[in-house]
Amino acid sequence: MTRVALVTGGTRGIGAAISKALHAKGYKVAANYAGNDEAAAAFTAETGIATFKWNVADYESSQAGIAEVEAALGPIDTVVANAGITRDAPFHKMTPEQWHQVIDTNLTGVFNTVHPIWPGMRERKFGRIIVISSINGQKGQFAQVHYAATNAGDLGIVKSLAQEGARAGITANAICPGYIATEMVMAVPEKVRDSIIAQIPTGRLGEPEEIARCVAFLAEEDAGFINGSTISANGGQFFV
């Protein structure tokens, strides 16, 4: 049986690695993206993975996009809620607009993504929900009050959904990546990057593919007894 997986923010960075890993495992993958049409087209051309455009911060857009995915590929069995943004600012300089942008995408976006799919998972008695959180949702971070709050909230979503979905064969788990060698991280000045690496016991940044392998494992049917868990993939930088 070929399963269908939706990966939000699935055409770039960690999301792209996740989409590719699930595709390689035989899933029909739908990679969601919010705005970069050129990157999405290039991603599909490279991988053959279908892309679907909508803003996870908007519930009606998410509903419509998910309906489009299911019409094209079939019922969604696996959801990887990966989409996220940053609008870094110290708290005393943070604007309500910055706060709401991050909350709406990183926290409400998980609700908007999972909620329309949840009834079908319950009916079919199977589902895998994997939320990509962050090390900064576990330990906090300067100038990221909103970002840390959303990622900590995502862990609460996972723990609650795990309890609600367990008897219906649905698992919900989270992955908290540390600092990963994505375009965003590699774009920071080298001195800043070196200072980050100095805090990581393994002495290097993580690779997107390492996070993708965690997702692929949690998505398996054999991972059904792992539920409500958080995998910290941060090179030993922070322990919970």
What 145-151 contacts at long range (C-beta under 8 Å, 24+ apart), as own/partner pairs, is 145/91, 145/94, 146/87, 146/94, 146/98, 146/99, 146/102, 146/103, 147/86, 147/87, 147/88, 147/102, 147/106, 149/103, 149/107, 150/84, 150/102, 150/103, 150/105, 150/106, 150/107, 151/84, 151/106, 151/176
CA 195 to centroid of chain Cα atoms: 26
Per annotation, catalytic residue among 27, 33, 147, 179: 147
Q: Is 179 a catalytic residue?
A: no
Angle at Cα 187 formed by Cα 181 and Cα 178, nearest 5°?
A: 35
Active-site annotation, residues: 147
